[in-house]
Amino acid sequence: MKIAILDDYQDCVKTLKCFSKLQGHEVSVFNDTLKNIPQLALRLRDFEALVLTRQRTNITKELLKLLPNLKLISQTGKVGSHIDLQACGDFGVTVFDGEGTGEATAELNMLLILAALRNLPHEVNRLREGKWQGTLGRKLSGRVLGVYGYGKIGQQICRLGHAFGAKILVWGRKSTLDRAALEGYRVAESREAFFKECDILSVQLRLTPQTRHDIKLEDLSLMKSDALFVNASRAELVESGALLKGLSNGRPGFAAVDVYEDEPVLNANDPLIKLPNCLCSPHLGFVERDNYESYFGIAFDNILKFISELKQK
């Protein structure tokens, strides 16, 4: 089978142990992201299967029309709104969902929180410039760590934050709030109270049509002037431009983000990167070797399963 693996930014998929599962197939790995549909279609027109690296490439009806040979899409991680499932069904393209633990993403969230609280990037740069200590950081222990969304990763962040001595506060859908309360975490009295009380707020929502632009400027404006807003989930969960304006207005006082509306971000072409009160990383939550072995291993297994079932027909 002719297989294309998309958006391997680090050119690392071929170094994974699980890559050997595709031995005997014609595999091409692409390291860049094409967003122009005619160009992308020209690249992919001969392939029968696509392996998607998370949500880096959108699979639209317009694109599928131009891919007559495509039979299969194997997603690393959960399928999201980046794939038009209705169109895939219309064109006879099978879509395989993936799964993963989320541990690497939860750890990255904690790294962003701790680095931002202790001004670590700034202090490291000062040291490289020949300077010594220049700021007074803050600890996580004893502070209110708000977790917005009590799904798999949100639950992990609650446990990690608790281990650091943070006071956990949860907000989200009622069903998840009931579970959080049963598991011993304090639930905010209201959405407004949640944004007001958090010293650190970590966004852990899945991006769906219902959650897109869920967080508005008026929500951010409720936050403390020294609060830290952390988003390593999806940029589109926040109303476009709201975080930039909020940080410029001083509420919240700080942010740490790992996600952007238009990725990949090249040439520092995002205004958040230029703000002194925003710590920015290049969407690293998912990017970890054990995580890649798990996610891509499952995606490759799904391709082999599909081929096996075809042979049996």
Q: List pLDDT tens digits, range 62-120.
A: 999 999 999 999 999 888 889 999 999 999 999 999 877 789 999 999 999 999 999 99
Which option is the CATH number for 2-98+288-312: 3.40.50.720, 3.40.50.1110, 3.10.129.10, 3.90.1150.10? 3.40.50.720
Overall average pLDDT of the 111-130 stretch: 97
The structural domains of the chain, with segments of one domain joined by +, span 2-98+288-312, 103-280
303 has a pLDDT exceeding 80: yes
The DSSP result for 28-73, as a single string, is: EE--S----HHHHHHHHTT-SEEEE-TTSS-B-HHHHTT-TT--EE
pLDDT surpassing 80 at residue 42: yes
Sign of CA dihedral 59, 65, 69, 71: positive
Could you check whether 2-98+288-312 and 103-280 share the same CATH topology?
yes
C-alpha to C-alpha distance for 116 and 228, rounded to whole angstroms = 8
> Contact at 8 Å (CB) between 303 and 74?
yes
pTM score? 0.93
Per residue in 139-184, pLDDT tens? Answer: 999 999 999 999 999 999 999 999 999 999 999 999 899 999 999 9
Q: Name the average pLDDT for the chain.
A: 96
Domain 103-280 belongs in CATH node 3.40.50.720 = yes
Query: Residue 296: phi, psi to the nearest 5?
Result: -70, -35
